[in-house]
Structure 1
Amino acid sequence: MGRLSFLLVLLCASLHVAFSFTDGLVANGQFEVSPKPSDLNGTVVTGGRYAIPSWEISGFVEYIKSGQKQGDMLLVVPEGSYAVRLGNKASIKQKIKVIKGMYYSITFMVARTCAQDEKLNVSVAPDWVVLPMQTLYSSNAWDTYAWSFQADYSDIEIVFHNPRVEKDEACGPLIDSIALAALYPPKPSNRNVLKNGGFEEGPYVFPNSSSGVLIPPNIVDMSDHSPIPGWIVESLKAVKYIDSNHFSVPQGKRAIELVAGKESAISQVARTIPNKTYVLSFAVGDARDSCEGSLIVEAFAGKETIQVNYESKGKGGFKHVSFKFVAIGTRTRIVFYSSLYTMRSDENHSSFCGPVIDDVTLLSVRKS
């Protein structure tokens, strides 16, 4: 069966067909099916556009093995043994069959290698995003991101492109573990005016990765939809989408960690009735990721605000908070952000961390 699967992947690559989609890794999404030795000159892929099975490449593309050295730097691959590096103006792309009009999210791992200001352009026409990679959120230099799009066609093409030109043409981002997931935007109900208040609907989370998934800020992702349906990352830095398999989550299987202080915020605009009283309730805690000390969340609902202090031991836990406010319009903006910048206390895992937000509920109050 292993040999048959390998041959099928090679056949599809040679024909350059569109792959049918199911939630999870795209075809050869971890690049473990390698080019033929004759298609490589050292690390450089020289065998033409379809040398990497299931992918079409252009420009200076390298096939990197984990543990390979670049000067004094050791290149580590987070999942499996191989990754690709996009040099000057290089790109990789893959065609996939999807449902036209459906929302999807792409989850992928990326690391910069040479330049401080490396960037990665991810696109599914006509949507695109350019991720700046100056800020590293993880301790192993690899960050996992998610980006969403709406499929305008039943056959789409996912493209990863390095838009920069460096003196060293090999200098550029490393990419590994690319996955796709369908998004099903939730609706408000009589139990919650907010959409997706528990953050259960969101991007694909790699089962073997404990880094969480970064959702880029709205100033980078200019689309009118999000990998976390209902919510917008309204800040300069990303927020982290976490799962209960690797983190402490107050309710359900998913939550949000605000990892970059006041530069890390989420928001949602809810439909409200003017002059009506509402109760906003939510859980604040820590992700059990050695994020110790005072964590402070500020929540805004219209013109009202509340500051919530949570003393974290970095081992998990949470508390519920609620407050009332009177709506002043037909739309009320709900915002959460962290007031403090916090780093993990584990010396071997120095990285950004912060308070966890979950179980967010907005309900109107009946007059007694």
Structure 2
Amino acid sequence: MGPKRELKFALESFWDKKSSAEDLQKVAAGLRSSIWKQMADAGIKYIPSNTFSYYDQVLDTTAMLGAVPPRYGWNGGEIGFDTYFSMARGNASVSAMEMTKWFDTNYHFIVPELGPDVRFSYASHKAVDEYKEAKALGVNTVPVLVGPVSYLLLSKPAKGVEKTFSLLSLLPKILPIYKEVISELKAAGASWIQFDEPTLVLDLDAHQLQAFTAAYADLESTLSGLNVLIETYFADLTSGAYKTLIELKGVTAYGLDLVRGTKTIDLIKTNFPKGKFLFAGVVDGRNIWANDLASSLGTLQALEAIVGKDNLVVSTSCSLLHTAVDLVNETKLDDEIKSWLAFAAQKVVEVNALAKALAGQKDEAFFASNATAQASRKSSPRVTNEAVQKAVSVLIY
């Protein structure tokens, strides 16, 4: 949305017909450029692209696949704002697509409506365009796509389609489009690509897990020459899901949420593929609190002994879209409370500080300041109220 909700205001102006599509695109391009530059300046090595969205990343994937419900009257070609925002918000004549919660977050996504008659086509080149846009600015990014299996598992049968319809049966129809996108990204110079497959943390049956195996086996030859990162988040993986993940064909790296997925660390200790990368999500992407750097560094050092120094990448637990943008804009907070907080911009700095510490370049002053803030928050009467503790202690459950 931007540090001062620039995208929100630009969208509202466009929807109210007070500004043009070009005006909206200009604001969006400025925000993307600013974020890429901020991450590069902070020392982040693996900078994502295609994480910007005018509305929702799952809807962006629906557009990429040309999976537009018939009621929107789309007749093919590159999907523009009219069709895109009609799917998101509806219009005078048709309703919007359903919106539902993204796992257990407060974020909501637009649910794809699919069936056996959907004619998929490559209808949005956004992922490739934004990779090229960043590259032209001197930033080589990691393009991020919603993974094909999670996309289908998060979809629903369209109106008139039997509720028992197997959405995973559409996998052979969407993979050719993913191959087109991958091929274009390779041609544009991408060396890494990230697939978000968060449904791996759900309680999946054998058939659903097999879909991941089949999908990435099919994509393997197209992905050849790329470093491939599969990202999961929000919970622990079951042992079966973890086994499926680390055995996927053509995959170079695994991104794991080690904040809400603390038990996953035990799976890593038991079995981690030699030579693969671990993107260790130790900085919480879902809250506003400063990271306990000393604790995270201890976790990372233990993982380094398993994964290898050159194959461990410090990361956030998930996308930073779930937290506020930049603490610098909070001018009314006092210094004590501000020392306890870290918004997206500060979390990027934390990631880099931890990466440097792992590499033997620990910023002692930064870590000491963080430790002081952690201790302050734990002991402050603004957090710990003895009267409340006493009242709670006598409650009978």
**Structure 2 length-normalised TM:** 0.32
Q: Which has the higher contact order (CA 8 A, sep 6+)?
A: 1
**Which has more helix, going by share of residues?**
2
**Structure 1 length-normalised TM:** 0.34
**Which has more strand, going by share of residues?**
1
